[in-house]
Amino acid sequence: MKNITLLFALLFFAGAATFSQEQISFKFSNAKIIGGTHDVLQFDIEIKADAPGTFHRDLQVYLDYNTLAFGEGAVAAGKVSISALELMDSHYLTVSLVDNTPSKFAFISEAVEELNQPGTATHFSEVPVEYTGFIRVQMEIDDNNILAGIAFDEELMNGGQYMQSTTSTDPIAYNDPCVFENDLMDFSFIAHEIDLTTGWAGISSYMLPYDSDIENMFDPIVDELVILQNFAGVYYPEYNVNTLGGWDQNSGYLVKVTENCQLRVFGDASDGGPLELSNGWNLIPVKGFCDVDTEALFNGIIDDLIIVKEVAGAGVYWPAQAVNTIPTLNPGKAYFVKLTSDQTITFPGCE
């Protein structure tokens, strides 16, 4: 009797293993705004499997979006484009990119050899167990004052994802439901607009940029940009020099342009917070989207403050001489500050 029970158990577990289904997960990543005549939201969709050895066959993505931000029927209006990333770069075709409803579009892909070959790395892409790029989406924005409202339609996507059998040309469904990691419902298109006039200026931003790469941030005004620098490095596009890398929200910058232009910084707004300063000269940003009272900001370190000075301007705050011609520090600008020791100041939040 014990032998029969053991045999039954072994058969049960073997059958369960044979018919087990792997699960696939989806997430949004690398969302950013590409500024231009018409601003564009760009984001990637990444996928992963919960176990190795699955080769994706047919994958379907259904995305809901805010029609107030993008308009209705975005695909038919020519406002949506899709490009392949690593997991669709070869072996796959786009079957359909179409409006599913006025506020939803569908993207459907299939493997070229799905009817002819079993699942192998020669004819299919294996879905890794770490998130990897599937497709890149670009959507033209109608109204920058409205949140994106983008999310996976979980109901339509569950049950519509297939891997290729490794022993035949049969499709095998991934486990239903899928896993959906995040959304872009509250993604904002609002930018910090910084007006630049011909010549030198000091700039900063209260935005935490979606894309902090200096070259990408300044690409819309690269024809007007001569140089961007701070105490850590320089970006000199004419000579392909970039030792800055990424934007530092805790630094001010010196910038020179050949004509009037506007820099737009897209990201999440930050309001106030501490800023560490070093002994000697500093180039500081304004951390917040409101004017800041200069004397109040430096009151706590007044004994160590020598001077605050405008960049490319004549304004100064010089406590020892009772001189203050910059009563407020303005968002978007940068200022020189000289101290006799390391200190910390704290920008207040806007009321």
- In tens, the pLDDT along 217-248 reads 999 999 999 999 999 999 999 999 999 999 99
Confidence of residue 10 (pLDDT cuts 50, 70, 90): very low
Confidence of residue 8 (pLDDT cuts 50, 70, 90): very low
User: Does the pLDDT of residue 18 top 50, yes or no?
Assistant: no
Q: Which of 234, 251, 269 is the last residue of a domain?
A: 269
pLDDT on residue 179? 96
On whether both 166 and 31 belong to a single domain, the answer is yes
On whether both 121 and 235 belong to a single domain, the answer is no
Range of the domain at 49: 23-180
On whether both 66 and 155 belong to a single domain, the answer is yes
On whether both 29 and 176 belong to a single domain, the answer is yes
Over residues 244-268, mean pLDDT = 96
If we measure between CA atoms, which residue out of 89, 94, 125 comes closest to residue 109? 94
User: Does the pLDDT of residue 20 top 80, yes or no?
Assistant: no
User: Does the pLDDT of residue 13 top 50, yes or no?
Assistant: no
pLDDT on residue 85? 97
Q: 119-123, long-range: CB within 8 Å, 24+ apart, which pairs?
A: 119/54, 119/55, 119/57, 119/163, 119/164, 119/165, 119/166, 120/55, 120/166, 121/55, 123/91
Backbone φ, ψ for residue 174 (5° rounding): -70, 160
Over residues 180-192, mean pLDDT = 95
Over residues 76-105, mean pLDDT = 96
User: Does the pLDDT of residue 272 top 60, yes or no?
Assistant: yes
Q: Which of 180, 205, 227 is the last residue of a domain?
A: 180
On whether both 68 and 171 belong to a single domain, the answer is yes
Over residues 6-28, mean pLDDT = 59
Confidence of residue 268 (pLDDT cuts 50, 70, 90): very high
On whether both 71 and 153 belong to a single domain, the answer is yes
Question: Are 187 and 296 contacting, i.e. CB atoms less than 8 angstroms apart?
Answer: no
On whether both 150 and 289 belong to a single domain, the answer is no
On whether both 88 and 138 belong to a single domain, the answer is yes
On whether both 165 and 67 belong to a single domain, the answer is yes
Measured on CA atoms in the order 262, 267, 269, 272, is the torsion positive or negative? negative
Chain CA centroid to CA 293, Å: 33
User: Does the pLDDT of residue 9 top 60, yes or no?
Assistant: no
Structure confidence by residue, pLDDT tens digits, 301-338: 999 999 999 999 999 999 999 999 999 999 999 999 99
Q: Which of 180, 206, 239 is the last residue of a domain?
A: 180
How many domains would you assign to the chain? 3
Over residues 249-263, mean pLDDT = 98
Assign residue 129 a region (left: φ > 0; alpha: ψ between -120 and 50; beta: otherwise). alpha
On whether both 67 and 144 belong to a single domain, the answer is yes
Over residues 46-61, mean pLDDT = 96
Is 159 among the domain residues?
yes
On whether both 265 and 278 belong to a single domain, the answer is no
Structure confidence by residue, pLDDT tens digits, 123-174: 999 999 999 999 999 999 999 999 999 999 999 999 999 999 999 999 999 9
Q: What is the pTM of this model?
A: 0.84
Over residues 54-71, mean pLDDT = 97
Confidence of residue 43 (pLDDT cuts 50, 70, 90): very high
On whether both 30 and 132 belong to a single domain, the answer is yes
Structure tokens at 220: 């819309």
Residue 115 or residue 13, greater confidence: 115
Assign residue 30 a region (left: φ > 0; alpha: ψ between -120 and 50; beta: otherwise). left
